[in-house]
Amino acid sequence: MKNSLGEIETALKDLPEQIDEACLDKWVELTLDLQSVAEDLQLIISFSEALASQNVEDSPADAIVAESNLYRSQFEKLRTGLEARSLKQSDRQWQMLVADPRLSAIQFYLDELRRIAKSKMPVELESLALELSVNGYHAWNNLYDKMAGGLRADFEQSGNVDRISMGQLATKMSDPDRDIRQQAFEKMTEAWQSRADLAAMILNSLGGFRLSLYKRRGWDSPIHEALQMCRTSEKTLDTMWRVIARETKRLAPYIEAKKKLLGIDGFCWYDQFAPCGAADKLYPFDEAGEFICDNVKPFSAEMADFIRMALQKRWVEAEDRPGKRAGAFCSDMGPLRQTRVFMTYGGTFENLLTLAHELGHAYHGWVLRGKPFFSTIYPMNLAETASIFIETMVTDASLAGASDPQQRLMLLDQKLQSAYTMFCDLHSRYLFERAFYAERPDGMVGRDRLSELMVEAQKKAFGSLLDESGYHPLFWCSKLHFFITDVPFYNFPYTFGYLFSGGVYDRARKEGAAFADKYRQLLTDTGSMTAEAVARKHLGADLTEEDFWISAVDRSLADVDEFVKLANEMI
C-alpha cells in the first residue's frame, strides 16, 4: 500500500494536464491504478476493523486501524488530485476518457467523481482537510469506539453477578423478563452517564468539523453529504418521511395489544424488543444457518448455496463472549472478493434475523464480485436492499409454516417490530440530528441540551406509542451510529432500504423464482445508478412521489390486524 500510494502520487504529478489521444493511455492507467489501490485499501480497513471489533482490548489492532486511516487519507488526497484534474477537461475531453473500453464499466463512478468535484474546495484545501481529518475527525470516532468498547456493567441474574459489556447488555433488552430488560436498560444508562460529557465533546467535535467543511464547500444543508453518498435527492427523502410521519399512528393497535400481552400499562424504551409468543425457543447457530438456507432456496438456490458456503468457510464471527464490540456488520474484503460478518449470536429468533440480514449484505457483495471495483461501491440506502430482503423472506417463510398460535404471534411481532423501529426509532435519530445540526453553528451543544433534543425527537417520532416516562434521553450518547465518521446521518438509509426492499420483495412474491435473475441484476446496478434510477428501471417506480412510499408503508403494516386478533385471543 505504501509503495502503491507513492507510485500513484508520482504518476499524478507527471500526468499531462489535458486529455488527448497522445496521453490517453497514461490517464487510463492512472485511473485503473487508483481503482486497484482503492480495492486493496478496502481490505486493509475491513481487516483492521474486524480485529478491533472482535476484541476491544486489542491495542495492536487499534494501531492498525490508525494506520489504515492514514492510508485512507492519502488515497483520498490522490482521488482529490484526480478530481481537480477532471475539472480542467472539457466535456469532450472527459468523454474521451470515460468512453475508453478499459474504463467504460466505471463511467458512472468517474462521472460522479467529476460532478461532486465541482462542489468542493480547491484541491489544496481539500487535501489539507483530508490530512487533518486523520488525527482529528476520524480520531474522534476511534476514541468513541474505544470508550464504548471499554464500558462494563455489573449485571445480576439468577443470583449471580457478572461484569458484562454493552453489547451483552443490549442482547438482554429482548429478554422476556421485564425486570431483566429494565435492569439492562438502567445499567446501560448508568454506564453512559459516566461518559456523557466525553460523548458530548466527541459529538460536538464531529459536528463542528463537518459544518466547517461544508461551509467552505458552499454546502448549505448539513444533509448534503449524506444525500450525495446515498445517491438520492432531498425531495425523495422528504417524501418518504412525510408519508411515515402521517402513517405511524397506525401502529397504535399493535402497541396496545403488545402492552396487554406483556401485562404492562406503559410502553417504555426497554419494552420495545420484549418478545411475544413462543419466545422461549432458541436456535443454535448451526440450526439457524440451515433454517436461513432452507427458506431462501425456493427463491434462489444460488443464494442458498452462497450462504451455506459463507457459513462453512467461517466467514461469520458470532461467538457470544466478553470484550466484543456491540452491534453487527458485514465487510467486503477488497481484492479477495469475499465478505466477513461480525455479530454476537445469542440464539434468539431476533439473532437469527440479524444473521440473515448480514448474510444478505454478504450476498450483495458476492453478486458484484465480477464487476470492476469502482462499480461495486453502492450507497448505504440501497445496501439495505439485499439484507432486509432475506430477513423478510425468512420471516414470511417461517410464518407460512407456523400453525402454532404462539409461534405465529412471535413471527408477526418480529415483522411489526421492524416497522416500528424503522418508522419511529430511526425517524427519531434523523430528527435529533437535524435539530443538533441546527443548533451546533451557535456553539457547543451541552450534554443536557443533547438529551433534551433527543427526547423531543422521540416524542415527535413515536407520538403516543411510548409512555411519557419511557423515553431514552441518553440514546444520543449510547448509539454508536451518531459517531461514525464514514457516513453522516447514519439513520435514514435504513428506513429507506427497509421500504425499498419491501418493493423489491413484493415483486419477488408475485414472480417467484423467475425473479431471481432480475433480482441479481437489480443488485448489480446498485453500484452504478442513483436510487431513483434503480427504482425506475427495475420497479417502474418514482421515488419522488408518495405512491411508492404509501404502498411500501401499507405492506409493512399489513399484519397489524392479524397480530391484534391473535393477541386478543391469548389474553
Determine, yes or no, domain membership for 45.
yes
Count of beta carbons in the 10 Å neighbourhood of residue 571: 8
Q: Give the pLDDT confidence score for residue 280 in this predicted structure.
A: 65
Residues 41-82 have pLDDT tens digits of 999 999 999 999 999 889 999 999 989 988 998 999 999 999
Residues 298-311 have pLDDT tens digits of 999 999 999 999 99
Q: What is the pTM of this model?
A: 0.89
Question: Cα separation of 207 and 200, whole Å?
Answer: 10
Nearest partner of 72 among 29, 25, 103, 37, judged by Cα: 37
Q: Give the pLDDT confidence score for residue 278 in this predicted structure.
A: 77
DSSP letters of 173-232?
GG-S-HHHHHHHHHHHHHHHHTTHHHHHHHHHHHHHHHHHHHHHHT--STTHHHHHHHT-
Domain containing 116 equals 2-135
**What CATH number is associated with residue 14?**
1.20.140.70
Determine, yes or no, domain membership for 250.
no
Distances, alpha carbon 293 to alpha carbons 249, 265, 287, 311, 395, in Å = 36, 40, 10, 10, 13
For CA atoms 201, 202, 207, 209, the dihedral sign is positive
Determine, yes or no, domain membership for 433.
no
Determine, yes or no, domain membership for 287.
no
Determine, yes or no, domain membership for 106.
yes
Residues 5-53 have pLDDT tens digits of 999 999 999 999 999 999 999 999 999 999 999 999 999 999 999 999 9
Amino acid found at 474? L
Amino acid found at 5? L
Q: Give the pLDDT confidence score for residue 149 in this predicted structure.
A: 84
Determine, yes or no, domain membership for 36.
yes
Q: Give the pLDDT confidence score for residue 563 in this predicted structure.
A: 96
Question: Cα separation of 287 and 347, whole Å?
Answer: 10
Distances, alpha carbon 430 to alpha carbons 223, 227, 402, 455, 486, in Å = 10, 13, 36, 13, 17
- Joined together, the cell numbers standing for residue 518 give 432480475
On the question of pLDDT at 400 being above 90, the answer is no
Q: Which helix (H) or strand (E) holds 162?
A: strand 160-165
Q: Give the pLDDT confidence score for residue 325 in this predicted structure.
A: 84
Residues 446-502 have pLDDT tens digits of 999 999 999 999 999 999 999 998 999 999 999 999 999 989 999 999 999 999 999
Determine, yes or no, domain membership for 15.
yes
Rounded to the nearest integer, the mean pLDDT of the chain is 94
Distances, alpha carbon 491 to alpha carbons 55, 230, 494, 498, in Å = 26, 11, 6, 11
Residues 275-284 have pLDDT tens digits of 888 756 789 9
Domain count, the chain: 1
Determine, yes or no, domain membership for 112.
yes
